[in-house]
């Protein structure tokens, strides 16, 4: 049970951004593919209606591909050309109309891109390899040249400029979930030789693509930049991510959000905040970096949100922001419900049961909660 005073002093505490802007609370809507953009990636009426219902301090939109070659899934938002700005502007306007700040998550999906969407025979990633797909097909990945990587880096900067033109308040770089920037950091994907500037043999080389993208965006726009990273992988340790996180701080990030390679687990099976242990290791390594820290992953109860924001009595363990995804698919105004219930001291957990059927609905045309549809 969380009393009203505690709720107001933690969750509803304003979040001051480096440029002086303030978010009204410490909850961010985590970037989530909604399957609602038009086939060409434009933001039309359907996706605008969905984002108009979400309530959070900062609403991070579903990922935008910065180059068409980096698209991984149908009806993904495009931020790859000037013509995209009009729809993106509608997106920020509807988010702002709810009193929320708007953040654009930018991505090149690298070896996870799909040829049937990009119109190419191969996709591009850190190294030559074959990547099996869920449908049994195998995608041939061609190693990017150094010039190609630099072009992708510039694409991040160009997409950031379009985002700011459209009215976004924050940029989030997607450095997680096996997508392009993470692939350069993860030796599973990065087999580049020692004499390559993006070599997979050193932390510096593995970090370079993500750090360079961050610096390019920082030089292109004057808005706060946050980065989402995996807290570990099969062969990447939290300690290594801690070193990456320090480099991101030096390159100009104001906040790093910790996720993981399996972002849609069921907290009933693995517990709430299932990336917490790894995130705590990273945080301990980078705690003197001046960064803000955020956490996402299976957070379902108001008590857990408060514990994460306060450190549960241990100030060195506290996070600055909490990101929620599936709970806000089921209940876009969940934060409002929790705030009203705090007045009575009888808050109920998010109604989301983590069945992931919402994403299955996306494959059929629109991500939505099917368990409570119509309520």
Q: Are strands 129-132 and 138-143 parallel, antiparallel or unpaired?
A: antiparallel
In a domain, 107, yes or no: yes
DSSP state of 187: T
Point out the least confidently predicted range of 147-151, 268-272, 311-315: 311-315
Other residues' Cβ atoms within 10 Å of the Cβ of residue 185: 29
Q: Is residue 93 part of a domain?
A: yes
How far apart CA 199 and CA 197 sit, in angstroms, is 6
The pTM (predicted TM-score) of the whole model is 0.96
Q: Is the pLDDT of residue 269 over 60?
A: yes
Cα separations in angstroms, 255 against 87, 277, 290: 27, 19, 9
What's residue 297's pLDDT? 95
* DSSP-derived pairing of the beta strands 15-16 and 22-23: antiparallel
As a whole number of angstroms, the distance between CA 274 and CA 51 comes to: 26
Q: Is 369 a member of any domain?
A: no
pLDDT at 261 over 90: no
- Element containing residue 325 per DSSP (H, E): none
Query: pLDDT tens digits, residue range 180-217?
Result: 999 999 999 999 999 999 999 999 999 999 999 999 99
- pLDDT value of residue 147: 98
SS3 174: strand
Q: Check residue 116 and give its pLDDT.
A: 86
Are 308 and 31 in contact by the 8 Å Cβ rule? The answer is no
Whether residue 52 lies inside any domain: the answer is: yes
pLDDT, one tens digit per residue, over 97-124 is: 999 999 999 999 999 999 889 888 889 9
pLDDT of residue 87: 98
DSSP letter at 11? T
371 within some domain: no
pLDDT at position 135 is 67
Asked if residue 315 has pLDDT above 60, the reply is no
Distance CA 230, CA 139 (A): 23
Q: How far apart are CA 375 and CA 366, in angstroms?
A: 17
pLDDT tier at 44, thresholds 50, 70, 90: very high
> How far apart (Å, rounded) are the C-alpha atoms in residues 217 and 152?
12
Handedness of CA 125, 63, 231, 151 (dihedral sign): positive
Predicted confidence band at 162 (pLDDT cuts at 50, 70, 90)? very high
Q: How far is CA 2 from CA 328, 342, 346, in A?
A: 20, 6, 8
- In eight-state DSSP terms, residue 206 is H
Say which range, 19-28, 84-93, 346-355, has the weakest mean pLDDT: 346-355
Domain coverage including residue 229: 4-363
| Predicted pLDDT of residue 104 | 98
At residue 363, the pLDDT reads 72
Which residues, other chains included, contact 19 with Cβ-Cβ below 8 Å and sequence gap of 6+? Answer: 222, 223, 224
Tell me what the mean pLDDT of segment 21-35 comes to. 96
Q: Does the residue 370 lie in any domain?
A: no
pLDDT at 137: 77
Residue 314 domain flag: yes
The total number of structural domains that make up the chain: 1
Cα distance between residue 180 and residue 108, in whole Å: 5
In whole numbers, what is the pLDDT of the chain averaged over residues?
94
Position 201 in a domain:
yes
Give the whole-angstrom CA distance, residue 125 versus residue 164. Answer: 27
Domain of 149, CATH number, reads 3.20.20.70
Residue 173's SS3 state is strand
Percent of the chain residues topping a pLDDT of 70: 98
């Amino acid at each position: 049970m969380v009393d009203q005073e505690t709720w107001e002093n933690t969750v509803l505490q304003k979040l001051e951004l480096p440029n002086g802007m303030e978010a009204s609370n410490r909850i961010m809507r985590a970037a989530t593919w909604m399957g609602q953009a038009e086939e060409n990636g434009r933001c039309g009426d359907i996706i605008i209606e969905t984002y108009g219902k979400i309530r959070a301090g900062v609403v991070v939109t579903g990922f935008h591909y910065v180059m068409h070659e980096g698209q991984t899934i149908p009806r993904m938002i495009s931020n790859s050309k000037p013509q995209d700005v009009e729809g993106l502007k509608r997106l920020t306007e509807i988010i702002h109309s709810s009193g929320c700040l708007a953040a654009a998550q930018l991505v090149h999906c690298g070896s996870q891109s799909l040829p049937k969407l990009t119109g190419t025979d191969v996709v591009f990633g850190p190294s030559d390899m074959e990547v099996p797909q869920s449908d049994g097909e195998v995608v041939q990945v061609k190693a990017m040249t150094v010039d190609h990587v630099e072009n992708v880096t510039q694409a991040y900067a160009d997409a950031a400029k379009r985002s700011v033109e459209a009215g976004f308040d924050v940029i989030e770089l997607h450095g997680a979930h096996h997508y392009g920037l993470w692939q350069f950091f993860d030796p599973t994907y990065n087999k580049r030789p020692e004499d390559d500037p993006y070599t997979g043999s050193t932390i510096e080389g593995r970090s370079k693509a993500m750090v360079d993208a961050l610096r390019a965006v920082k030089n292109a726009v004057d808005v706060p930049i946050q980065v989402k990273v995996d807290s570990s992988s099969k062969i990447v340790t939290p300690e290594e991510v801690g070193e990456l996180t320090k480099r991101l701080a030096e390159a100009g990030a104001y906040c790093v959000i910790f996720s993981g390679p399996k972002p849609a687990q069921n907290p009933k099976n693995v517990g709430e905040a299932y990336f917490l242990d790894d995130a705590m290791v990273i945080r301990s390594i980078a705690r003197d970096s001046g960064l803000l820290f955020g956490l996402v992953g299976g957070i379902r109860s108001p008590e857990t949100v408060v514990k994460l924001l306060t450190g549960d009595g241990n100030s060195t363990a506290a996070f600055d922001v909490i990101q929620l995804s599936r709970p806000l698919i089921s209940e876009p105004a969940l934060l409002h419900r929790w705030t009203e219930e705090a007045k009575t001291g009888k808050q109920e957990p998010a109604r989301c049961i983590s069945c992931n059927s919402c994403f299955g609905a996306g494959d059929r045309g629109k991500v939505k909660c099917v368990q409570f549809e119509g309520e």
